[in-house]
Amino acid sequence: MDTTQLLKGVLDLAVLAVVDGEDGYGYDILRRLRTGGLDEVGDASVYGTLRRLYAAGALTSYVVPSESGPHRKYYGITTAGRDQLKSQRDDWHHFSTTVTGLLRDDRPKQGAAS
Amino acid sequence: MTDNMLEARPEIAEFMTQVRARLADLDPEEQRELTDGLEADLTDLVAEHGSGALGDPQDYARELRTAAGLDPVTGKVREHRPIGESIDGFLDAAHDRWDRAFAMLPGSPSEFVKAIQPVWWIARAWLAVELVDVYFGRSPHTPVPSIHGPLIGATLVLAAAIVSVQLGRQKLWPASLVQGSVVARLVLLGLNLTAVVLTPTVLSQFPASGQTVENHFYYQSTESTTIAPSTLISGDKGVTNVFPYDAQGHPLTGVQLFDQDGRPLDVRWTNGSYDAADTTAVAYPWVSGGTEAFNVFPQAQRRQSDDARVAGAWSLPDPPKISWLARFVVPHASLPGVTPSDVVLPAGTLHHQKAR
């Protein structure tokens, strides 16, 4: 199954969850997502999502200059971001439980024996 | 800074330029927001997975825009791009298409091309020196350039080869700036194209086996003067006039010349080149027994707008004339046991006389 479409729906949630644990810069966050199992996630998708969440006020950002190369931009979660994470986490649990229930093998089939 | 970063940076900078170009329709704040810190992230990516991980900047920009909740289509970006970026983009696209077409062929031809690249580096160096040789070297043309002797020619080829290889390795300008400068990129492209285009020219300069040296000269001289194959050759040029002097260094007018078989030395020529005033030099031969004698020297010439001889030119206000070489001092000449012709010229006789 192509998980790209599924990923699109939950990327905000995944990114917020990862940043909630610890502030991080773009590539660091990408690495955490991939280590967490989302190994098909594209880097531009993650960076774009970070920018959008920042613009929406869910994330805050600060620049850390580097002596060895270009400066890094770190992201941290805001209170609004935590609220969003909490409500989306609840939504996800509800949604995934529902879908898992629908997919259960022992669920009585509609129109089967009566 | 690690070596890794140093190595990766030009590619990342180029990639960033390409991505930025596809964000150019956004307002500056949005652009900054999208690209700030991106270079560091890409540097990490390249350090970990190599520059191949960068992918296509267009796809990247689209993905970035979509994820950021913006219109994925870049709109009219291209029209507003500075000319340099447009050229850059065009070259990149061409390069991309070439790479993709190449990748579809079996047997990884791109690796083969990479492997034989140094051969081209040496070949273009040799071509460059040969090209100089065509114009300044001795004739006939040889595979080892003979500018002032084969040793200098070979040395020049060696020096050019070093320069060319350094260019190929992107260690020298303009190749060292190819990632960042459109001008450098175009200069390099131009140089390579010139080398390719001029290859047939240089190769055609070598006399084919069995071809006589005379014929070879004939081909070489066609650029400004069309000369019949029987013409006289001096150095690497066709002779268009002869100025005879006697043993005492006095100029002689009306000297008839014949070759070893008694044939008249025929110097027929048409001057194909026109000067700034749009006139060309046309030769008017002497006359011998009612026929034109092209072996009598010096020949008279007339500057006119047409290269055909004008009937009755001798009666015109500006008749054909012999232009002696100005301030040309001819030394005395002698040969043991040979008495030179005793020619005594009265002073001021340097005007044209018709032969009997």
CATH number at residue A71: 1.10.10.10
Same domain, B190 and B263: no
In this predicted structure, what is the pLDDT of residue B346? 61
Q: What is the ipTM of this complex?
A: 0.83
Asked, for residue A110, whether it belongs to a domain, the answer is no
**Cα B305 from Cα A4, distance rounded (Å):** 78
- How many structural domains is chain B composed of? 3
Q: Residue B352: pLDDT band by 50, 70, 90 thresholds?
A: very low
Bridge partners (DSSP) listed for residue B301:
B283, B321
Three-state DSSP class for B310?
coil
Q: Which residue has the tokens 């991980």?
A: B53
Q: How confident is the model over B291-300, as a mean pLDDT?
A: 84
pLDDT in tens, B33-81: 888 888 888 888 888 888 778 888 888 998 888 888 888 776 544 445 5
Q: Considering only CB atoms, which chain A residues are within 8 Å of B35?
A: none
Dihedral pair phi/psi, residue B182, rounded to 5°: -65, -40
| Residue closest to A69 by CA, chosen among B18, B9, B10, B178 | B9
Q: Residue B6: pLDDT band by 50, 70, 90 thresholds?
A: very low
* Residue to substitute from A11, A25, A43, A54, interface B, most B β-carbons within 10 A: A43
- Tell me: pLDDT of A114 over 50: no
Asked, for residue B41, whether it belongs to a domain, the answer is yes
* Residue to substitute from B41, B44, B49, B74, interface A, most A β-carbons within 10 A: B41
CB contact set of B61 (below 8 Å; sequence gap of 6+)? A44, B18, B19, B22, B23, B74
> Taking a C-beta distance cutoff of 8 angstroms, is the pair B146, B156 a contact?
no
CB contact set of B324 (below 8 Å; sequence gap of 6+)? B243, B251, B298, B350
Same domain, B146 and B100: no
> Taking a C-beta distance cutoff of 8 angstroms, is the pair B345, B250 a contact?
yes
Asked, for residue A114, whether it belongs to a domain, the answer is no
Most confident of A79-83, B184-188, B286-290, B310-314: A79-83
Q: Considering only CB atoms, which chain A residues are within 8 Å of B67?
A: 11, 44-49, 51-52
Same domain, B9 and B100: yes
Query: How far, in Å, are B160, B195, B203, B221 from residue B200 at the CA level?
Result: 20, 10, 5, 18
A106 to chain B, closest Cα gap in Å: 38
Whether B11 contacts chain A with CB within 8 A: no
Element (H, E) at B214: helix B213-220
Q: Do A30 and B41 touch (CB under 8 A)?
A: yes
Q: Residue B178: pLDDT band by 50, 70, 90 thresholds?
A: low
E-strand ranges in chain B read 225-227, 233-234, 237-238, 255-256, 269-271, 280-284, 286-288, 291-293, 296-297, 300-304
Q: Do A66 and B60 touch (CB under 8 A)?
A: no
Same domain, B175 and B274: no
**Residue range(s) defining the domain that contains residue A58:** 4-102
A12 to chain B, closest Cα gap in Å: 10
Same domain, B65 and B83: yes
* Residue to substitute from A10, A31, A39, A47, interface B, most B β-carbons within 10 A: A47
The residue of chain B nearest to residue A31, with distances taken between CA atoms, is B45
Asked, for residue B337, whether it belongs to a domain, the answer is yes
C-beta atoms surrounding A47 within 10 Å: 26
> Taking a C-beta distance cutoff of 8 angstroms, is the pair B139, B236 a contact?
yes
Q: Is the peptide bond preceding residue B336 cis, with omega within 30 degrees of 0?
A: no
Asked, for residue A108, whether it belongs to a domain, the answer is no
Q: Do A27 and B64 touch (CB under 8 A)?
A: no
Dihedral pair phi/psi, residue B350, rounded to 5°: -85, 45
**Cα A30 from Cα B356, distance rounded (Å):** 102
- Position with higher pLDDT, A109 vs B253: B253
Q: Considering only CB atoms, which chain B residues are within 8 Å of A66?
A: 40
C-beta atoms surrounding B45 within 10 Å: 21
Dihedral pair phi/psi, residue B328, rounded to 5°: -100, 115
Same domain, B182 and B161: yes
Q: Do B36 and A27 touch (CB under 8 A)?
A: no
Asked, for residue B226, whether it belongs to a domain, the answer is no
Average pLDDT, chain A: 86
Q: Considering only CB atoms, which chain A residues are within 8 Å of B58?
A: none
Q: Which two tokens stand for residue B145?
A: 């350039």
Q: How confident is the model over B94-105, as a mean pLDDT?
A: 77
Among B157, B185, B204, the domain-final residue is B204
**Residue range(s) defining the domain that contains residue B151:** 111-204
B63 to chain A, closest Cα gap in Å: 6
Asked, for residue A38, whether it belongs to a domain, the answer is yes
Q: Do B34 and A48 touch (CB under 8 A)?
A: yes
Q: How confident is the model over A31-53, as a mean pLDDT?
A: 90
Asked, for residue B256, whether it belongs to a domain, the answer is yes
Q: Do A26 and B66 touch (CB under 8 A)?
A: no
Q: Do A52 and B66 touch (CB under 8 A)?
A: no
Three-state DSSP class for B282?
strand
* Residue to substitute from B35, B44, B60, B66, interface A, most A β-carbons within 10 A: B44
Whether B323 contacts chain A with CB within 8 A: no
Among B149, B180, B204, the domain-final residue is B204
Same domain, B191 and B245: no
Same domain, B253 and B275: yes
Asked, for residue B214, whether it belongs to a domain, the answer is no
- How many structural domains is chain A composed of? 1
In this predicted structure, what is the pLDDT of residue B350? 47
CB contact set of B175 (below 8 Å; sequence gap of 6+)? B166, B167, B168, B169, B184, B188
Predicted TM-score of the model (pTM): 0.41
Please enumerate residues of A whose Cβ is less than 8 A from a Cβ of B.
Answer: 11, 25-27, 30, 42-49, 51-52, 54-55, 63, 66, 68-73
Asked, for residue A51, whether it belongs to a domain, the answer is yes
Among B64, B88, B104, the domain-final residue is B104
